[in-house]
Amino acid sequence: MKTQKEKKSKKESPLGHKVWGGRFREGPDEIVDRFNASLHFDRHLYSQDIKGSVAHCRMLAKQKIISQKEAKQIIEALNGIKGEMDRGDFSIDGSCEDIHSAVEKALVKRIGEIGEKLHTGRSRNDQVALDVRMYVREAIDRTITLIKGMQMALIDLAGKNLDLVLPGYTHLQRAQPVLLSHHLLAYVEMLKRDRQRFQETHKRVNIMPLGSAALAGSTFDLDRDMVAGELGFDDISKNSMDAVSDRDFVLEFLFAAATLMMHLSRMSEEMVIWSSQEFRFVKLPDALCTGSSIMPQKKNPDLPELVRGKTGRVYGHLMALLITMKGLPLTYNKDMQEDKEGLFDTVDTVELCLTVMTRLFEEITFNGERMKEAVKRGYLPATDLADYLVGKGVTFRQAHETVGKIVLYAMDKKKELDQLGLDEMKAFAKQIDKDVFEWLDPELCIKRRELPGGTGPEAVRKRLDEAKGEIEP
């Protein structure tokens, strides 16, 4: 026996208040409505849902499944609903479980029974798949545009600082001198791969699933190619079961987004380190930093720190959907409703982080003197000294060991390599002559690396021009 409290929790609305209500003898419990509802987040899809419905309606009329007059009424009403939603004037019925039923309910309220014909030949399964594909496609286009903008900001920054030299690092230890512009172009290459990943994902997103219905296709003579063409899809799905159960395209988007965020996080980490008092390589603008509530002297790099932190939440959305999908039998399962909140949050997070990082790179300035000072310390020309010995006929392994001993000697003497006397160095290798000092100048170390992809000034200038050409139309 149900308690009085349990009885009161039942919906008192008619059994048919749900689009699927005909099968049921009683309405759903209030907890079912709350747990099942997705309207509070899938309202993001209202624009895509209405555009898809308009195209579907035109096709139904063309195929004489509904009349042209009915199609005109439906399309005019749908456009009116969209216009109100765009302006924020539309009040969504909170009793609806999702945006799809909310739009349909509003349509029927405006034009009556004719509005109920719109759903002919489709299911919410293929309707949702269509909406999400359109949403992801638009998000990819925006993301690619933002990536290009960030690449251009980095290229401009590199071009303004072509002559600055700083230590290159491995294991966060000073390794070899490099041009700052070469370092910045490394970010451009990362973003280039990100852009390519989104472009590749776009191809697999741009497949039109409408017409798959719930899972088996439709009995109506639907012109799927017409709908695909009207909505800008490259092709139609080839298997109705796969079309409604596929979320690979969302996973691919989330993976591309997670990789992009990893790159932004690495950039952010360097900005945090480089702006510290220990490094002082970069100055972040006051307008893009914050202070401390207790320490008056502080200037905190909050923006790159937040980008670094938000990377984890994007990773989480990718892993969550992978775990959701891993055990699902064909075809559609309600678990797949969980694809949307993580997707929407990822899109918002990635777009904001790209905007923030682009602004940061447009505004930062570099401390060239501090970088030059850092390059003079840490035995950075050691590799060049080994190469010098190889040029004198010493095998590289022998040269490597010899230079290691010279470095150890210099450390004991508290000197840098270029501060050692010729006789001191000749004591380790008789092949060393006075021309060795040309190999110990950090700027000359850079100029010797003019091979494609190297940090030589001409190689970097050439790559700058190439990179700009890859982005500009």
DSSP 109: H
Query: What is the H or E stretch that residue 75 is in?
Result: helix 68-87
141-164 pLDDT per residue, tens: 999 999 999 999 999 999 999 999
Q: Which amino acid is at 160?
A: K
What does the alpha-carbon distance between residue 118 and residue 126 come to, in Å, rounded to a whole number?
14
What does the alpha-carbon distance between residue 37 and residue 31 come to, in Å, rounded to a whole number?
10
12-46 pLDDT per residue, tens: 444 446 666 667 667 777 777 677 778 888 899 99
323 burial level (CB within 10 Å; 0-12, 13-18, 19+): exposed
What does the alpha-carbon distance between residue 273 and residue 353 come to, in Å, rounded to a whole number?
19
Closest CA to 25 of 10, 15, 13: 15
DSSP 329: P
Would you place residue 50 in the very low, low, confident or very high pLDDT band (cuts 50, 70, 90)? very high
Return the structure tokens found at 397: 């392994």
| Bridge partners of residue 168, in order along the sequence | 176
Q: Are 360 and 304 in contact (CB under 8 A)?
A: yes
CB atoms within 10 A of CB 45: 24
126 burial level (CB within 10 Å; 0-12, 13-18, 19+): buried
414-443 pLDDT per residue, tens: 999 999 999 999 999 999 999 999 999 999
pLDDT of amino acid 116: 96
Instruction: Give the CA angle between residues 208, 247, 189 to the nearest 5°.
Output: 95
Query: For all residues of the chain together, what is the average pLDDT?
Result: 93
Strand, helix or coil for residue 354: helix
Q: Which residues are catalytic?
A: 171, 292
pLDDT of amino acid 17: 61
pLDDT of amino acid 473: 63
pLDDT of amino acid 21: 62
Q: Is the pLDDT of residue 4 over 70?
A: no
Domains in the chain: ranges and CATH: 27-120 (1.10.275.10), 125-373 (1.20.200.10), 382-440 (1.10.40.30)
Of 21 and 242, the structure prediction assigns the larger pLDDT to 242
CB atoms within 10 A of CB 4: 7
Strand, helix or coil for residue 347: helix
Q: Which amino acid is at 413?
A: K
Would you place residue 11 in the very low, low, confident or very high pLDDT band (cuts 50, 70, 90)? very low
304-337 pLDDT per residue, tens: 999 999 999 999 999 999 999 999 999 999 999 9
CB atoms within 10 A of CB 205: 24
DSSP 215: T
Query: Which value, to the nearest 10 degrees, does the dihedral of the CA atoms of residues 199, 203, 204, 207 take?
Result: 140
For residue 217, give Cα distances in angstroms to 23, 139, 210, 214: 22, 28, 9, 7
What does the alpha-carbon distance between residue 402 and residue 382 come to, in Å, rounded to a whole number?
10
Angle between helices 99-111 and 68-87 in degrees, nearest 10: 120
DSSP labels, 20-67: TGGG-SSPPBHHHHHHH--HHHHGGGHHHHHHHHHHHHHHHHHTTSS-
Please report, rounded to a whole number, the percentage of residues in the chain having pLDDT higher than 70: 94
What does the alpha-carbon distance between residue 400 and residue 63 come to, in Å, rounded to a whole number?
78
What does the alpha-carbon distance between residue 76 and residue 72 come to, in Å, rounded to a whole number?
6
Q: Is the pLDDT of residue 284 over 60?
A: yes
| Bridge partners of residue 167, in order along the sequence | 177
Mean pLDDT of the region 52-67: 98
Q: Are 360 and 267 in contact (CB under 8 A)?
A: no
Max CA separation in the chain (angstroms)? 102
Answer left, alpha or beta for residue 213, where phi above 0 means left and psi between -120 and 50 means alpha.
left
107-151 pLDDT per residue, tens: 999 999 999 999 999 999 999 999 999 999 999 999 999 999 999
